[in-house]
Amino acid sequence: MDQAKIDQMRATLNKLEDIKNSQESILDKINHVITDLFEHPDKELEKTMNAAHQKSSDNVDSVREAMEEYEMRINKLENQD
C-alpha cells in the first residue's frame, strides 16, 4: 500500500466534496430566485433559472457519482495490504 498516494487521493476526495457542496449551495440560491419569481413573475428569467437549476443538479449528480467511484478505488487500494 502506497500511503502517500492514498493520502493524495483522500485530499482529492475532500476537494470533490467541496465542489459538491458548492454546487448544492448554488442550487439553493437558484431555488430562492425561482421562489421569488412566484411573487414577481418574469417568464424569461424563470426559463433561465430552470435551465440553470437542471445544469447544477446534473453537476451535483456527476460529482457525487465521481466521488463514489473514487472512494471505492481508494478503499480498494487500502485493502490491498
In whole angstroms, give the CA distance from residue 19 to residue 59: 9
CATH classification number, 3-78, choose in 1.10.287, 1.20.5, 3.30.379, 1.10.150: 1.10.287
Residue ranges per structural domain of the chain: 3-78
| Local mean pLDDT, 10-residue blocks, the chain (81 residues) | 91 98 98 97 98 98 98 94 61
- Taking the model in full, what pTM does it have? 0.87
Q: What pLDDT is recorded for position 81? A: 61
How would you label 27-43 residue by residue, b for 16+ Cβ within 10 Å and e otherwise? beebeeeeeeeeeeeee
What's the confidence (pLDDT) of residue 1? 62
